Amino acid sequence: MTFRVHVRVVPRPGLLDPQGQAVAHALAALGFPGVGEVRVGRAIELELEADDRATAEAAATAMCERLLANPVTEDFTVAVEG
Amino acid sequence: MTIRVAVIRFPGSNCESETLEAARRAGATAELLDYRATSLGGADVVILPGGFSYGDYLRSGAIARFAPVMQAVRAHAEAGGGVLGICNGFQVLCEAHLLPGALLHNAGQRFVARPVDVRIERTSTICTGLFRPGAVVRIPQAHGEGRFVADEATLDALERDNQVVLRYVPVPGSDLPHNPNGSARDIAGICNPAGNVVGFMPHPERLAEATLGDTIGQTFFASLVGAPTSGAPA
């Protein structure tokens, strides 16, 4: 069956994230109060044909380790829908 | 015997012509090599040039790392063959784990294109042998993602094992930050322990002929082919 997989990749905590800082400054400049640290990553959605949910999750995790995230600088989460 | 150099052209490479010419001027037999090639065709040294391979999609170098030719590059590196990555080529080598660490967006969030001063920290590599140890050279660089990062243990190991090849140093009289991208420990380039795999952000091929004002960049290519430089050592 076809699963919809949501992959979320974010910069490792502790790594300088200039993009996040720029967004935090922009939000402050727009007058949004209370915004603390902002980190910008990327979301990847993919359709995946697999026998079951666990297989889909394992495959997506392997994709993250191999290509979608850089283990040196990024953390990822995988969520399988359906 | 003439050294044979292969300059890989990925989709989105844009410095391959200057790099090829610099290698030829240094006396190498140099050819472009398509990213789909499965062999290096007998090349002694392979150069991964600057540019924006695969549009820098996902992360710079992340997709080029899986180009067919990279299997041959990896085998060449592991057999002790020379591999040089310039700018995007350095990013590809890090993504391929042929060099440690990663290159992230510049701390200032801007593409920075200006000359920088770098110190030659190691001369026992495939491309820095003709420099005087500790020489400072002014060389162009142009990148948006040149901030070298690695965990502290990796950085300590790089320093301990003399794997830092180029380091940004202050430019006398300049108000600009000497480190253009926020790179850890001012690192501009590194190598593997043996010194046969080298990656750095600056572009020596852009300052390698007299009409461009200086030929200091040519020294990297002359070192690569083991040829004497036309001028005095830097």
Closest-CA distance, B69 to chain A, in angstroms, reads 17
Residue-wise pLDDT for B160-203, tens only, equals: 999 999 999 999 999 999 999 999 999 999 999 999 999 999 99
pLDDT at B68 over 80: yes
pLDDT at B224 over 80: yes
Chain B's closest residue to A42, CA to CA, is: B58
pLDDT at B231 over 50: no
**Listed residue (B105, B114, B194) closest to B148, CA to CA:** B105
The answer as to whether B151 is a domain residue is yes
**Confidence band, pLDDT 50/70/90 cuts, at residue B234:** very low
**Listed residue (B115, B130, B131) closest to B180, CA to CA:** B115
Is B87 a known active-site residue?
A: yes
pLDDT at B142 over 50: yes
Q: Which of B15, B76, B87, B191 is catalytic?
A: B87
Model pLDDT, residue B223: 96
How far is it, in rounded angstroms, from Cα B76 to Cα B81?
5
CATH of the domain at A63: 3.30.1280.10
The separation between the first and the last C-alpha atoms of chain B, rounded to the nearest angstrom, is 25
Contacts of B142 (CB under 8 A, 6+ apart): B50, B87, B111, B112, B113, B114, B203
pLDDT at B12 over 80: yes
Q: Tell me what the mean pLDDT of segment B133-158 comes to.
A: 97
Q: Determine the 3-state secondary structure of A10 from DSSP.
A: strand
**Which chain A residues are within 8 Å of B109, Cβ to Cβ?**
18-19, 21-22
Closest-CA distance, B220 to chain A, in angstroms, reads 29
The answer as to whether B121 is a domain residue is yes
Contacts of B41 (CB under 8 A, 6+ apart): B6, B31, B33
Domain count, chain A: 1
How far is it, in rounded angstroms, from Cα B147 to Cα B79?
29
Question: Is B62 close to A70, i.e. CB distance below 8 A?
Answer: yes
**Listed residue (A67, A71, A66) closest to B150, CA to CA:** A71
**Confidence band, pLDDT 50/70/90 cuts, at residue B227:** low
Residue-wise pLDDT for B74-90, tens only, equals: 999 999 999 999 999 99
How far is it, in rounded angstroms, from Cα B28 to Cα B33?
15
* Ramachandran assignment for B92, one of left (phi > 0), alpha (psi -120 to 50 degrees), beta (any other): alpha
Q: Is B150 on the interface with A (CB under 8 A)?
A: yes
CATH of the domain at B130: 3.40.50.880
**Confidence band, pLDDT 50/70/90 cuts, at residue A82:** confident
The answer as to whether B233 is a domain residue is no
How far is it, in rounded angstroms, from Cα B16 to Cα B51?
8
Q: Determine the 3-state secondary structure of A13 from DSSP.
A: coil
Domain containing residue A29: 2-81
Q: Is A29 on the interface with B (CB under 8 A)?
A: no
Question: Is A16 close to B107, i.e. CB distance below 8 A?
Answer: yes
**Which chain B residues are within 8 Å of A18, Cβ to Cβ?**
105-109, 182
Answer yes or no: are the C-beta atoms of B150 and B104 closer than 8 Å.
no
Residue-wise pLDDT for A30-71, tens only, equals: 999 999 999 999 999 999 999 999 999 999 999 999 999 999
Q: Which of residues 9-28 of A touch B (CB under 8 A)?
A: 11, 15-16, 18-19, 21-22
The answer as to whether B113 is a domain residue is yes
Answer yes or no: are the C-beta atoms of A69 and A76 closer than 8 Å.
yes
The answer as to whether B66 is a domain residue is yes
**Which chain A residues are within 8 Å of B182, Cβ to Cβ?**
16, 18
**Confidence band, pLDDT 50/70/90 cuts, at residue B213:** confident
Domain count, chain B: 1
Domain containing residue B55: 4-225
Q: Tell me what the mean pLDDT of segment B111-124 comes to.
A: 97
Q: Tell me what the mean pLDDT of segment A3-8 comes to.
A: 98
pLDDT at B56 over 70: yes
Q: Is B104 on the interface with A (CB under 8 A)?
A: yes
pLDDT at B228 over 90: no
Q: Is B92 on the interface with A (CB under 8 A)?
A: no
Q: Tell me what the mean pLDDT of segment B143-170 comes to.
A: 97
Share of chain B above pLDDT 90, in %: 93
